[in-house]
Structure 1
Amino acid sequence: MVFVTKDIQKRDVSRLFTPTSIGKLQLKNRTVMAPLGLVGYADARGGFNKNIQELYIRRAKGGMGMITVGLVAVDYQDFFDLSLPCPIYDPIDFTKTSKEMLEQIHNYGTKAICMISAGMGRSAFPGVSKQMWAPSPQENRFDPKVMHRAMTVAEIQKTIEDYAKGAKICKDAGFDGVEIHAVHEGYLLDQFTMSFFNHRDDNYGGSLENRLRFPIEIVKAIKAACGADFPVTLRYSLKSFIRHLREGGLPGEHFAEQGRDVAEGLEVAKLFEAAGYDMLNVDAGTYDAWFWNHPPMYFEKKGIYNEFGAKVKSAVSIPVAVAGRMDDPEAINAAFDQDIDLVEFGRPLLADPDLVNKIKADAWEDVRPCISCHDGCLDRLAKGMPYSCTVNPETGHEAEYKLTAPLAKKNILVIGGGPAGLESAYICGTRGHQVTLLEAQDKLGGAILPGSVPSFKKDDYQLLVWFERQLAHMSNVTIQLNHAATKRDFNDPKFDTIIVATGATPIMPDFGSDQMLKAEDVLMGKAKVGEKVTIIGGGLVGCETALWLQRQGKQTTVVEMSDDICGGPAHTPFANYQMISELLPYNGVDVQTSTKVERVTGTQVVASDAQGNTKTIAGDAVICAIGYKPKDPFLQLLQTTDKETYLIGDAKRTGKIMTAIWDAYYIAKDI
């Protein structure tokens, strides 16, 4: 078979591996693991549980220069008890578990700072905040019926004191510094700094100096408790990108900034440097423009914060760090070309803990790619679960899941070359089993193939490239394309174990027309459409297909029976949901929700709205994208065979890439 080559040129990123410093803290290279919320990673006394310890140790082994541990809670005034680690809850336990982790991190020559958070303020998900406070009385970001009260001065001052106490405990536990969370993303401290949210008339509101008082008093209190040389860094969003309350400004869009604009942001950066902050970890966005802080795949450009980091670097003399999908040599070099000091990796390190060592070895083609789906990381956090990774189920389970050689090597047949089949073959092959993978089509990938056609889904394609490369290097894995598995293959006595990963097939209801097209056929170029296209179904496939067609100059209408697209924010990671919800109308897609298709006549769709009014939507083509159903031609054999068999992925229940990969991993790791 022919394996495609990853479309990334080898580049010299040697500047990434030169030493640098933050104040007097010396770093072996310029790589930083970006902070991530530690929901579900606290032990029974507010320390670090074994899973998160091992996650960070594994990334240190992978070559990191510095790891930002956390975020952790400054106290449990607003955070629920033990929802996150917390240094002041039980300092003895926090110190003990920190030392267990830091000893091993430091053994790899990696430094570690701890990010301490004051909380979310009006950006709190409903039900996760005890105090429901903000700088001023505010509506909740997600539910305007929920109101937040203003923090009292006494509560502000206690938070500052707790920051100093917590930082001192972190220092005594062996941390090399702390990072303050955050004048970024519209969290509590960020809300205090913006006049859009801060309407106080005391010393913590009004003028810019007063609005910055809270985070400035924090750094001064920490320096007083820990010494002037103890590094204190700040997570900092230069620009807010708030178009309106709960609405973000899109890349390239011209709008009136309601939050912090660049001019004020640069002034703020200078004041933070003067106050004593030792580094600024720069990005952009707020919870009102959440896709900026957690960029989905719809940001096609990598290194999206470079421009903001460069502006801040021109205004301050302290180090500046940037994240923003920096797993790309051009993005890394662009950062250094603009005098940015440090490069941060967040989600890419969840996908591949050896990212930095692979970059150093110029082995970009072996980096397992982050696909910016948010399903395994951000969406789990939002639901109160520990973060992990769609493409790497071991993330967050390093202490529990370790691939081991089987007691007896088996001959395994994998039927289907989609994500579930590929992960099965990869894990079984890694463990030493003999694997034969049969794929009916002339290419591997299954549903990834049509799904990765739009340019904003190119990382899905790179995941396929990665699988192909890894499997090509395994002599114990055989792949046969253009081979539709049969009953004879299933019953072949040479196979001890059968994994059925045959995927799903599109649902095509009888709307009265035989001219309806499948979204996957249009994406793959098997079916052509005219200039005016109607898409039935406003799920992820329908919406992404509409955006792809609209950007080709088509006039696209999406018809969705429910009152929201993509299943709403409860079904789709919020940053992704918000961005595509804004991108569709911004690009001119006509989205008609609460609209039920009654029938299709040729290429005309007859539908009724929520009031029962009938309308006809004319067009040159109708694409059906209402969902999928499992495709399992081996169901009867699975039920009657004496062999060890498994049904996984979409063939068992339809889902996303994460469902398929996790299904496969959990089965394959124990065969």
Structure 2
Amino acid sequence: MSYKYQKLFEPMQIGNVTIKNRFAMAPMGPIGLGDAVGGFNQRGIDYYVERAKGGTGLIITGVCFVDNEVEPHEMPSTPSPTVNPVHFTRTAREMTERIHAYDAKVFLQLSAGFGRVAPPVNPDVQPVSASAIMNRWADIPCRALTKEEIRHIVKKFGEGAATAKNAGFDGIQIHAVHEGYLLDQFAISFFNNRTDEYGGSLENRLRFAREVLDEIKKTCGKDFVVTLRYSPKSFIKDWRVGGLPDEEFEEKGRDLPEGIETAKLLVQYGYDSLDVDVGCYDAWFWNHPPMYQKKGLYIPYAKAIKEVVNVPVICAGRMDNPDLALSALDDGACDMIGLGRPLLADADYVNKLRSGQIELIRPCLSCHEGCLGRMVHYGWLNCAVNPTCARERITELKPALKAKKIMIIGGGVAGCEAARVLSLRGHFPEVYEKGDRLGGNLIPGGMPDFKEDDHALATWYENTLKDLQVPVYFNVQITPDMVKAAKPDTVIVATGSTPNICILGNNDKVFTAEDVLLGRKNPGEQVVVLGGGLVGCELALWLRNNGKDVSIVEAEDSLLKLNAPLCFANSDMLLSLINYKKIKVYTDSKASRTTDQGVVIATKTGEQELKADSVVLAVGYSPENDLYNALKFEIEDIHLLGDARKVSNIMYAIWDAFEVASNI
């Protein structure tokens, strides 16, 4: 049988390992998935097994440290095969055997350490690096590793790999001559000013990575597969400053010509595959691309490497569009597609694609709120749009003891998620939406081209509720009397929020962000955006991309201050783009009144008039909970969800709805 995406499901070889299809789970930090003595906890085991169950051919775990002496790591941190090898084997063996049951393969990602990019959380431990350079996050000097410490780490790689092999792993991925981690700090001359055999020439700077490979092959046998996570270009404009797409700058890190020569050497040394991305912690929005980066952003770099090496090349980086993935294979850019966050959003991505259920693949928003942002701030890996990610066992849906008729008022993400979960559990939900489509704030929010996946999520809910045969009624304004007349067993009020309005005198030129995004109002050519939170900044960027002269006025002393915690990759790129696109920014400022020419703002230095055809409000939202307040003493089983309960983000609208709907 012919199938459009059949090539994505052809088997392939990495070394002596046969993989059933062309999909790999890209390595992502397993924070929260390890236990106090270096093993995988049950969450971690279930998390990886679920992606194998979903059809992914190769599972690559997140980073596991081989050394805890030269660079100590707090436990529980991530799994480590060298802390307690017997315990690691015991927990990992359960995972690898379950993964193999689904005809998937699994590689353990082993790390030499973070070096200068490790957050300095312990003041008593000086960060390390190839040389005495500054830490990425603070003005703290690193100390250079001694040769004895390098040899110690190399030996630990051999021990860790041997334990991994015994635990049933099919191979190793080395973390990494990529993203500016410790091995990369040795490999990049910008970071490495050593004068011994580990510094100077390219071959010397790669010596550490070569010795790691040699030690593993010596310990585990030459046929044991060892792959490498590799960045052929760093995008470092300066210390702690990354270069933007299409920006002209002098590369301070590894540029592509050296990246190509490096790749040739690494393969010559014996690495069995290269897993390609680009970027560095100084340009974090390349390694962890937010929605402001285009899809498939690593493809040109993977192709440049594929053209000069004779081993399989893996390419990740917003590769969730199957047409894009297929074109990358057809064009010879890579041999395998890496899916990271898309497999957090939908563990069944591969099986759904194989069976032609593309419209039921839940999209990743590239928001980083549930994954990287949550890892950094709370120590757990999760997903904004998938509440079960890394919580598979504790969020397993249980059938309803008694099927109930449930009335859901509001078709935003909270109402849709509640309806989905309730239907899966055997209840009979019905959704009533006052507008003409599902999605709520996803619809205006998804209007900028870089937010296209917001609309994709709204469409996914439409397709999913249709697949579940959940009745949805549009253009219906529900009143308290209508609810009481329907006599539902349970009521869920998810009526969303309304934009906050400022009275600035002549409001003929004052519009809401929603009005402008949806095209209901023409903002003109000169636009002042009031509010420098996420909505205001993204609106300003979109307007600027469309040729408008844009200013942002923010009452706080910096942009994005009220949206914490945002993932640094997202906030850093958004702020860099605002600066690069020459969007004018006025902080510590408030609009006081409109004028014929524009708007007057009050700043620390006095009043200032800004020319403007329009003033667009992005000053927050207020819960729309009148219906709930009218019913809360009338309906026994009633719940308030989403922005109607508390104005927040997409993640908490979905998560809260999942939690409540799971227990009705």
By the TM > 0.5 criterion, same fold?
A: yes
How far does residue 128 in structure 1 lie from its aligned partner after superposition? 6.6
Taking structure 1 as reference, are residues 146 and 608 closer, same or farther at Cα in structure 2, changes over 3 Å only?
A: farther
Q: Secondary structure at the match of 1:138?
A: coil
Q: Secondary structure at the match of 1:243?
A: strand
How far does residue 256 in structure 1 lie from its aligned partner after superposition? 1.0
Normalized against structure 2, the TM-score is what? 0.96
**Distance in 2 between residues matched to 1:265 and 1:66, nearest whole Å:** 26
Structure 2 counterpart of 1:118: 112
Moved more, 452-461 or 130-139: 130-139
Structure 2 counterpart of 1:6: none
- Answering whether residue 330 of structure 2 is matched by residue 330 of structure 1, we say no
The one-character-per-residue Cα deviations of 1:259-309 (angstroms, maximum 9, x if unpaired) are 000000011111111112111000101111111111111123x22111111
**Residue 61 of structure 1, aligned match among 29, 53, 59:** 53
Taking structure 1 as reference, are residues 504 and 276 closer, same or farther at Cα in structure 2, changes over 3 Å only?
A: same
Check conservation: 1:568, 1:577, Cα contact below 8 A: no
- Answering whether residue 503 of structure 2 is matched by residue 510 of structure 1, we say yes
The one-character-per-residue Cα deviations of 1:146-175 (angstroms, maximum 9, x if unpaired) are 332222222222111111110110011110
**Residue 316 of structure 1, aligned match among 309, 327, 330:** 309
**Distance in 1 between residues matched to 2:635 and 2:299, nearest whole Å:** 58
Q: Secondary structure at the match of 1:634?
A: helix
**Distance in 2 between residues matched to 1:474 and 1:333, nearest whole Å:** 30
Structure 1 counterpart of 2:653: 660
**Distance in 2 between residues matched to 1:240 and 1:269, nearest whole Å:** 14
How far does residue 493 in structure 1 lie from its aligned partner after superposition? 5.5
Normalized against structure 1, the TM-score is what? 0.95
How far does residue 110 in structure 1 lie from its aligned partner after superposition? 0.5
Moved more, 309-318 or 483-492: 483-492
**Distance in 2 between residues matched to 1:562 and 1:153, nearest whole Å:** 49
The one-character-per-residue Cα deviations of 1:578-621 (angstroms, maximum 9, x if unpaired) are 111111222232222333333333562222334x3332111110
The one-character-per-residue Cα deviations of 1:491-538 (angstroms, maximum 9, x if unpaired) are 235211111111111111333342321000110111111110000111
**Distance in 1 between residues matched to 2:247 and 2:23, nearest whole Å:** 32
Moved more, 635-644 or 616-625: 635-644
- Answering whether residue 463 of structure 2 is matched by residue 487 of structure 1, we say no
Structure 2 counterpart of 1:551: 545
- Answering whether residue 69 of structure 2 is matched by residue 74 of structure 1, we say no
Check conservation: 1:558, 1:589, Cα contact below 8 A: yes
Check conservation: 2:58, 2:106, Cα contact below 8 A: yes
Check conservation: 1:569, 1:577, Cα contact below 8 A: no
Listed as ranges, the gaps of 5+ residues in structure 1 are 1-9
**Distance in 1 between residues matched to 2:44 and 2:378, nearest whole Å:** 15
Q: Which amino acid aligns with 2:59?
A: I
Q: Which amino acid aligns with 1:40?
A: G
Check conservation: 2:411, 2:440, Cα contact below 8 A: yes
Check conservation: 1:191, 1:197, Cα contact below 8 A: yes
Structure 1 counterpart of 2:129: 134
Moved more, 193-202 or 127-136: 127-136
Structure 2 counterpart of 1:229: 223
How far does residue 384 in structure 1 lie from its aligned partner after superposition? 4.2
Q: Secondary structure at the match of 1:81?
A: coil
**Residue 214 of structure 1, aligned match among 208, 212, 228:** 208
**Distance in 2 between residues matched to 1:601 and 1:433, nearest whole Å:** 56
- Answering whether residue 463 of structure 2 is matched by residue 469 of structure 1, we say yes
Structure 1 counterpart of 2:471: 478
Residue pairs, 1:189-338, within 5 angstroms: 189-300=183-294, 302-338=295-331
Q: Which amino acid aligns with 2:545?
A: R
Taking structure 1 as reference, are residues 348 and 454 closer, same or farther at Cα in structure 2, changes over 3 Å only?
A: same
**Residue 29 of structure 2, aligned match among 25, 37, 45:** 37
Q: Which amino acid aligns with 2:507?
A: D
Q: Secondary structure at the match of 1:195?
A: coil
Q: Secondary structure at the match of 2:561?
A: coil
Q: Secondary structure at the match of 1:383?
A: helix
Moved more, 589-598 or 612-621: 589-598
**Distance in 1 between residues matched to 2:3 and 2:450, nearest whole Å:** 23
RMSD: 1.7
Structure 2 counterpart of 1:670: 663
Q: Secondary structure at the match of 1:69?
A: strand
Q: Secondary structure at the match of 1:598?
A: strand
Moved more, 324-333 or 525-534: 324-333
How far does residue 563 in structure 1 lie from its aligned partner after superposition? 2.7
Moved more, 246-255 or 47-56: 246-255
Check conservation: 1:22, 1:278, Cα contact below 8 A: yes
Moved more, 512-521 or 413-422: 512-521
**Distance in 1 between residues matched to 2:20 and 2:40, nearest whole Å:** 25
Taking structure 1 as reference, are residues 501 and 58 closer, same or farther at Cα in structure 2, changes over 3 Å only?
A: same
The one-character-per-residue Cα deviations of 1:293-342 (angstroms, maximum 9, x if unpaired) are 11111123x22111111111111111111111111123212221232111
The one-character-per-residue Cα deviations of 1:412-469 (angstroms, maximum 9, x if unpaired) are 1111111111111111112111111111112221111100011111111010001001
Check conservation: 1:419, 1:660, Cα contact below 8 A: yes
**Residue 501 of structure 1, aligned match among 471, 494, 497:** 494
Listed as ranges, the gaps of 5+ residues in structure 2 are none
Check conservation: 2:67, 2:113, Cα contact below 8 A: no
**Distance in 2 between residues matched to 1:665 and 1:457, nearest whole Å:** 24
Residue correspondences, number: 658
Q: Which amino acid aligns with 2:7?
A: R
Structure 2 counterpart of 1:26: 18
How far does residue 61 in structure 1 lie from its aligned partner after superposition? 1.1
Structure 1 counterpart of 2:4: 12
Taking structure 1 as reference, are residues 11 and 32 closer, same or farther at Cα in structure 2, changes over 3 Å only?
A: same
Moved more, 345-354 or 489-498: 489-498
Check conservation: 1:514, 1:602, Cα contact below 8 A: no
Structure 2 counterpart of 1:188: 182
**Distance in 2 between residues matched to 1:140 and 1:628, nearest whole Å:** 39
**Distance in 1 between residues matched to 2:540 and 2:663, nearest whole Å:** 41
Taking structure 1 as reference, are residues 639 and 568 closer, same or farther at Cα in structure 2, changes over 3 Å only?
A: closer
Check conservation: 1:40, 1:384, Cα contact below 8 A: no
Structure 1 counterpart of 2:611: 618
Check conservation: 1:381, 1:387, Cα contact below 8 A: yes
Give the share of equivalent positions with the same residue, in percent: 45
**Distance in 2 between residues matched to 1:602 and 1:282, nearest whole Å:** 55
The one-character-per-residue Cα deviations of 1:98-126 (angstroms, maximum 9, x if unpaired) are 11111111011111010012222221224
Check conservation: 2:373, 2:565, Cα contact below 8 A: no
How far does residue 73 in structure 1 lie from its aligned partner after superposition? 1.5
Q: Secondary structure at the match of 1:189?
A: helix
Taking structure 1 as reference, are residues 569 and 520 closer, same or farther at Cα in structure 2, changes over 3 Å only?
A: closer
Taking structure 1 as reference, are residues 613 and 31 closer, same or farther at Cα in structure 2, changes over 3 Å only?
A: same
How far does residue 192 in structure 1 lie from its aligned partner after superposition? 1.3
How far does residue 569 in structure 1 lie from its aligned partner after superposition? 8.7
How far does residue 82 in structure 1 lie from its aligned partner after superposition? 2.2
Check conservation: 1:39, 1:384, Cα contact below 8 A: no
**Residue 459 of structure 1, aligned match among 425, 440, 453:** 453
How far does residue 633 in structure 1 lie from its aligned partner after superposition? 0.8
Moved more, 399-408 or 381-390: 381-390
How far does residue 198 in structure 1 lie from its aligned partner after superposition? 1.2
Q: Secondary structure at the match of 2:131?
A: coil
The one-character-per-residue Cα deviations of 1:25-73 (angstroms, maximum 9, x if unpaired) are 1111221111111111112321101111111111111111110022112
**Distance in 1 between residues matched to 2:491 and 2:456, nearest whole Å:** 27
Structure 2 counterpart of 1:50: 42
Taking structure 1 as reference, are residues 194 and 357 closer, same or farther at Cα in structure 2, changes over 3 Å only?
A: same
Check conservation: 1:603, 1:621, Cα contact below 8 A: no
Moved more, 488-497 or 597-606: 597-606
Q: Which amino acid aligns with 1:52?
A: G
Check conservation: 1:183, 1:193, Cα contact below 8 A: yes
